Amino acid sequence: MFADLGVAIIDTDRISRELTAAGGAAMAAIRAEFGEVMVRPDGSLDRPRMREQVFADSAARQRLEAILHPMIRAEAERQLAAVQGGTYAMLVVPLLVETGAYRKLIDRVLVVDCDESRQLRRIVSRDGLDEAQARAILAAQADRQQRLAAADDVLENQGSLEALRGKVAALHAKYQKMAQAAR
């Protein structure tokens, strides 16, 4: 919704997917570290298989993160530097609280919040996972209290899309004023 208002969005999940697509910059290192078993016939990362391994084995998750996180951060920094026009940009970092790696790049933290049951349903629906897999993903992340404690702003996402649009518009106006005042 912020993008619809002209805000430049740099999404680290999207960057990760590009890096692990067929021919992506991370695939050679992933293949070398984890073997062909993690590579689909088209040359992309076998995400379900990798997800299963990294949530069962924290050392495997650390090895994957050691490959991906520096590449993701470098690309995010490149994209931020290339942003032109507009008054501010948004860096979308789902694991911001867990990694802390992007704090120097940002001025504020906006947490999009909903209750855990809604979050669980959204993960199951979005990623096609069963509930146990979705719970494992949530267990590996910062909990709701930790995310809210890190927030400068909280965007409640429990209601209708129309209500959410109004909240986004209000935050956008606030961020525009803050960015203009900082110039």
Q: What is the pLDDT of residues 44-96, one digit of tens each?
A: 999 999 998 998 899 999 999 999 999 999 999 999 999 877 789 999 998 88
Q: Which long-range contacts (C-beta less than 8 Å, at least 24 apart) are formed by 32-38?
A: 33/63, 33/64, 33/67, 34/60, 34/63, 34/64
All residue ranges of the chain with pLDDT < 70 are none
Q: Give the pLDDT score at 7.
A: 95
Q: Give the pLDDT score at 65.
A: 94
Domain coordinates of the chain in residue numbers? 3-182
Q: Which CATH architecture has domain 3-182?
A: 3-Layer(aba) Sandwich (3.40)
- Name the token pair of 45: 């990362």
